[in-house]
Homo-oligomer: A and B are copies of this chain.
Amino acid sequence: MRFADKLRARWDEADTLLCVGLDPDPAKFPEAFAASEPDDTADALFAFCRDIVDATAAYACAFKPQIAYFSAHNGGEAALQRLIAHINGAHPDVPVILDAKRGDIGSTASQYAIEAFDRYGADAVTLNPYMGRDSAEPFLQRNDRGCIFLCHTSNPGARDFQELQVDGVPLYQRIARTIAADWNTDGNCALVVGATYPGELKVIRGIVGDMPLLIPGVGAQGGDVEAVVRNGAAADGAGLMINSSRGILYASPGAGYAEAAADAARSLRDAINRFR
């Protein structure tokens, strides 16, 4: 199923706008996952994330593994493959977003598209638009998959370049307009907009119509759920994938980590839905 349709179906059927981010940091794992050998780290990455996935799937409109947390470790790629295969098998209605922020010339981008969509089997991938249209093209052409472009990110440095004025509007607005008007021919584009900048979120929603928005930055980064929903929801009350990673993954350091993750995910889903 096309990413856009799978996401829409999940929003409707599970009544959730929550995206569960999978950023597994072994230093924060519950004791049960303490790796005694370096080679065990990859197994722990998989097993911890699998437990979180199984505990939170009922509340998730998407899962978003962050590839850097796997790529920092030997064997991390195999763990990520196992994890996505597990999600696709056990929770086939929940789309998987590979958070990789790729961006390169066309011939290289084609390799990255193979990595994300074929090797890992992700439904969508995050992309950096700085290199322009031809760097996005190999992803856009895979039009059953989703292309989620950085627009206004959640970090402090988002102000450094993304807010520079170009022709009287900030760069991030220009990028949003270009993607909505020129790159989204097949309806397979989405944007990353940080929860920490609710004013900018409102402006972007006005530019892109009902395009899906991936919203990092609630929880550890300080974004406010009410402001995100009020400023970011599409006209039908959906249109958002509001991500939480650390607040769910590390909700409890003890043996009850999975139950605590489920509770945190359910709470956040409910908090989001209160403002829709």
Contact = CB atoms under 8 A, between A and B. Distances in A.
Q: What's the number of copies of this chain in the assembled complex?
A: 2
A131 B114 contact: no
A226 interface: no
A170 B71 CA distance: 35
Contacts of A118: 72
Given A69-B111, A111-B72, A178 B160 contact: yes
Interface string A223-255: 000000000000000000000000000000000
A267 interface: no
Interface string A125-156: 00011111111100000000000001001111
Nearest to A73: B119
A132 B115 contact: no
Nearest to A134: B157
Interface residues of A, number: 55
A165 B166 contact: yes
Interface stretch (A8-16, A46-54, A87-95, A99-107): A99-107
A264 to B, nearest CB: 18
Contacts of A158: 131-132
Interface string A153-174: 1111111111011110001001
A157 B135 contact: yes
Interface string A184-210: 000000000000000000000000000
A248 B119 CA distance: 28
Contact of A135 (B69, B106, B155, B175): B155
18 contacts: A23-B108, A68-B104, A69-B111, A72-B111, A72-B112, A77-B77, A101-B102, A103-B128, A128-B130, A130-B161, A131-B158, A132-B158, A132-B160, A133-B157, A135-B157, A164-B171, A165-B167, A166-B171
Given A23-B107, A136-B157, 6 more contacts: A68-B109, A68-B111, A101-B104, A128-B130, A129-B130, A130-B161
